[in-house]
Amino acid sequence: MVFDSCASGKANFSSTPICDTLANDNKSPPLRMTMPPDHERHIRSFVRRQGKITVGQRKARLDLAAKWVLSKPGSPIDFEALFGNRNPVVLEIGFGMGETTATIAQKNLLWNFLGIEVYPAGIGALLQRIETLGLRNIRIIEDDAVSILRHAITPLALHAAHIFFPDPWPKKRHHKRRIIQAEFVSLLTSRIAPEGYLHCATDWPEYADQMLQVLSAEPWLRNHSPAGGFAERPDWRPQTKFESRGMRLGHPIADLCFRKHSSPPSPTAK
């Protein structure tokens, strides 16, 4: 099971077999809710790139979005109604083309996966994979993950969060656009249940150092790596598209695995 397989402290969840919920598809509420306008301004960690979208990806968006994409998610998302079960929910921010998301979801059918992305071709690609692989444990939101975390995901609702190869924004003047910042990590951590985890990875060494610093400074998180630094890529995490590109360019890969404390950190704790 994803990160928990290599963890010492396992969290217990009541897991309804996903097959019990398949027949429920028709009974699930329509994937549409209303989202309060996001009046809070924040720096976007992405640019909305249209990119090249294939005919198949466009068709998948047209034909399959109603089934798997939440349009305008409301506050808060009822995960039990959305997935038709009470299985733990793993959030993935910025899934790109979704190949990693689909592979992990296929191997962990008793877990639910919520992917947030703003890239239309990537959303089409993940929809195609969902359909081809017959997956029922993935839902997609096409929006800014920061707004969704603020308005649509309640505290402690997530079991885990994956952020694999977030945009590195290499120019110094753009560093403020990096998603891994103290305020964002605090928000994200507040949505994760006790003993849940946050897994990040990057191929950009200077961003990796920033991530390590920010995650280590978050009082609710503890580094799962015994040495307190970076972790090896765990077996369950497939190589992503951006990771492959980084490796071709000779970039070193850094994984960061942090777990959420189960009780409030003491004031003196890091």
Ligand X SMILES: C[S@@+](CC[C@H](N)C(=O)[O-])C[C@H]1O[C@@H](n2cnc3c(N)ncnc32)[C@H](O)[C@@H]1O
**85-114 positions binding ligand X, by CB under 6 A:** 93-96
Angle, nearest 10°, between helix axes 182-191 and 205-217? 60
Q: Of 39, 114, 126, which Cα lies nearest the Cα of 73?
A: 114
Catalytic positions are 167
DSSP 96: T
Does 241 interact with ligand X (rule: CB under 6 A)? yes
Closest-approach residue to ligand X (CB): 94
The binder of ligand X chosen from 79, 111, 165, 220 (CB under 6 A): 165
Does 203 interact with ligand X (rule: CB under 6 A)? no
CA distance linking residue 110 with residue 108, whole number of Å: 6
The binder of ligand X chosen from 84, 122, 124, 196 (CB under 6 A): 122
Does 208 interact with ligand X (rule: CB under 6 A)? no
Does 73 interact with ligand X (rule: CB under 6 A)? no
Angle, nearest 10°, between helix axes 55-68 and 120-133? 70
Shortest distance in whole angstroms from residue 164 CB to ligand X = 4
Shortest distance in whole angstroms from residue 28 CB to ligand X = 24
Structure tokens at 38: 């996001």
Count of residues engaged in binding ligand X, rule: CB under 6 A: 23
**132-151 positions binding ligand X, by CB under 6 A:** 144-146
Shortest distance in whole angstroms from residue 203 CB to ligand X = 9
Nearer residue to ligand X within complex by CB, 18 or 192:
192
DSSP 78: -
CA distance linking residue 215 with residue 92, whole number of Å: 17
Per-residue burial over 96-106, b if 16 or more Cβ lie within 10 Å, else e, is: bbbbbbbbbbb
- Residues in contact with ligand X by CB under 6 A are 45-46, 93-96, 116-119, 122, 144-146, 164-167, 179, 240-243
